[in-house]
Amino acid sequence: VSTRSAASHEFEDLNGNADRLIDRVRQGNRRDLARALSYVEYGGAMAQAIGRAAWANASGAHLVGITGAPGAGKSTLTSALIKEERLAGDVVTVLAIDPSSPFSGGAILGDRIRMMDHALDDGVFIRSMAARGHLGGLSLAAPQALRVMDASSPSRIILETVGVGQTEIEIAGAADTVVVVVNPGWGDDVQANKAGLLEIADIFVINKADREGVSRCKRDLEQMLDLNAELLDGWRPPIICTVAVNGEGVSELDAVIRRHEDHLRDSGRLVKRRSARVKSELEKIIALTLTQRALLFAGGRDFQLALDRVLAHEIDLYSAAELLVSQATPD
């Protein structure tokens, strides 16, 4: 047996294994779903084979992003929302992105434990994910994980991220329906970038609405929407008040999410939004593929020579990069 055919055998095995794994995921095997997600998190060839198989078996589940400041009550809200959906008989899958920061405000593990209310419920699958290790970071690992979850045909996927950091915001902002969670008192602060929220929010939730300052917070949000009316594309983000800990307002939120889903489908915006998401991810993957090539030749002699000249302050980094890229003639 030649090396070449052995390698191609291995490749077929990989794809075959991925196909079989995703087939079991489709049939609702949760242990295999968990396993497939671990592969994706780990990265490498098997992750890509699984991503391929999952994409070929996409169910097109609705993706709801929930984001907000640490402590806004996102996890409690997610948990309450799951309860609501389970009453409707829906199967729900949750991907919770752990911030990669070693500081992290808010009791994240505590929140996860709270979600364990649903641990024994077969109609609920919760997975938390950290960015570490995956090449290309969260912005590539999260969509791969979401595709694997999607292959299990849930009626809805909830993606929960803490709304801090460039990457974290982008990930949540790419969902079909983006729920932004704030608390009473939000907006009093000088630096809150109110208009920045508008760029991503489809629905606003004022959680902990049993506290003081709800009407002012609501007025602030309405005003922001009025001021930016020309940016709204046929949908004015509703503002829902909730007290997630006791479930208040959560069924209304659930209804509004469904209304937004209908709006997206009926207006043809769902297809557009998803195409845009795939396009932007494809661009990122191309960039990553090219970067890997770049790193390959970063191990080479030309790179070292250029780096030495930079370190000697003879040329600057951007000129060195130009030089190296124009020298490089991949294949």
| Binding residues among 62-81 for its own copies as defined by CB under 8 A | 68-70, 72
Whether 214 contacts 244, CB under 8 Å: no
187 binds its own copies (CB under 8 A): no
Q: Under rule CB under 8 A, which residues in 202-261 are in contact with its own copies?
A: none
d(CA 18, CA 48): 9
285 binds its own copies (CB under 8 A): yes
Exactly one of 100, 153, 155, 251 binds its own copies (CB under 8 A); that residue is 100
Nearer to its own copies, 211 or 279 (CB): 279
105 binds its own copies (CB under 8 A): yes
Q: Considering CB under 8 A, how many residues would be counted as binding its own copies?
A: 78
Residue 103 CA from chain centroid, whole number = 21
Exactly one of 163, 184, 237, 249 binds its own copies (CB under 8 A); that residue is 163
Long-range contacts of 260-269 (CB under 8 A, 24+ apart): 260/177, 260/202, 260/203, 260/235, 261/62, 261/176, 261/177, 263/234, 263/235, 264/176, 264/177, 267/234, 269/233, 269/234
Exactly one of 16, 110, 133, 300 binds its own copies (CB under 8 A); that residue is 110
Q: Which two tokens stand for residue 232?
A: 């709204």
Q: Which stretch binds its own copies (CB under 8 A): 2-10, 99-107, 223-231, 254-262?
A: 99-107
Nearer to its own copies, 168 or 202 (CB): 168
Exactly one of 99, 154, 184, 249 binds its own copies (CB under 8 A); that residue is 99
**Shortest spacing between CB 84 and its own copies, in angstroms:** 25
159 binds its own copies (CB under 8 A): no
**Shortest spacing between CB 63 and its own copies, in angstroms:** 16
Q: Which two tokens stand for residue 65?
A: 């992003």
Whether 49 contacts 14, CB under 8 Å: yes
d(CA 274, CA 262): 15
Q: Which helix (H) or strand (E) holds 159?
A: strand 156-162
